[in-house]
Chain A
Amino acid sequence: MTANCGLSLDQMAWRVAQELQDSWVVNIGIGMPLLVPPHVRADRDVIFHSENGIIGMGPEIEGGDHVDPDLLSAGKRPVRLMPGGSFVHHADSFALARGGRLDAAILGAFQVAQNGDLANWKLPGARTGSIGGAMDIAVGARRVLILMSHTTREGEPKLVDRLAYPPTARGVVTKVFTELGVFAITEDGFVLEEIAPGVCADQVRAGSGAQVKTDGATLMVPPDPVSPREPVLSRA
Chain B
Amino acid sequence: MKQKRHETPLEAIDRMTDNSVVFVGGFGRAGVPERLVEAVCRRKLRGLTIVSNNAGSNVAGIASLLQEGCVGKIICSFPLAREAVAFRDLYDRNLVDLEVVPQGTLAERIRAGGAGLGGVLTPTGVGTDIAEGKPLIEIDGRAFLIERALRADFALIKAYKVDPLGNLIYRKAARNFNPIMAMAADWVIVEAAEEVGIGALDPEHIITPGVYVDAYCAVTRIDQMMEATP
How far apart are A123's CB and chain B's nearest CB, in angstroms? Answer: 11
Which chain A residues lie closer than 8 Å to B167 at the CB level?
A: none
How far is it, in angstroms, between the C-alpha of A133 and the C-alpha of B27 when the chains are bound? 12
Decide yes or no whether B119 CB sits under 8 A from chain A: no
A87 touches B173 (CB 8 A): yes
B230 touches A83 (CB 8 A): yes
A135 touches B78 (CB 8 A): no
For window 22-39 of chain A, which residues contact chain B by CB distance below 8 Å?
A: none
A94 touches B130 (CB 8 A): no
CB-nearest residue of chain A to B143: A170
Q: Please give me the 9 A-B residue pairs with the lowest Cβ-Cβ distance, nearest first.
A: A94-B104, A136-B104, A76-B28, A68-B228, A170-B127, A135-B102, A90-B107, A70-B174, A70-B172
B103's partner among A94, A95, A127 (CB-CB below 8 A) is: A94
Instruction: Supply 11 A–B pairs (Cβ within 8 Å), ascending by A.
Output: A53-B27, A69-B223, A70-B174, A72-B27, A76-B57, A81-B172, A89-B176, A90-B177, A117-B127, A131-B102, A131-B130
Cβ contacts B14-31/A at 8 Å (1 or 0 each): 000000000000011111
Report the interface size class on chain A: 35 or more
How far apart are B96's CB and chain A's nearest CB, in angstroms? Answer: 12
For window 73-101 of chain A, which residues contact chain B by CB distance below 8 Å?
A: 76, 80-81, 83, 87-91, 93-95, 97-98
Interface residues of B (CB under 8 A from A): 27-31, 53, 57, 77-81, 91, 98, 100-108, 110-111, 122-130, 170-180, 207, 223-224, 226, 228-230
How far is it, in angstroms, between the C-alpha of A90 and the C-alpha of B207 when the chains are bound? 13
A/B pair count, beta carbons within 8 Å: 154
For window 108-128 of chain A, which residues contact chain B by CB distance below 8 Å?
A: 117, 122, 127-128
CB-nearest residue of chain A to B108: A91
Decide yes or no whether A181 CB sits under 8 A from chain B: no
B108 touches A94 (CB 8 A): yes
B100 touches A129 (CB 8 A): yes
CB-nearest residue of chain B to A58: B230
Which chain B residues lie closer than 8 Å to A90 at the CB level?
A: 27, 53, 103-104, 106-107, 176-177, 180
B171 touches A70 (CB 8 A): yes
Which chain A residues lie closer than 8 Å to B226 at the CB level?
A: 68
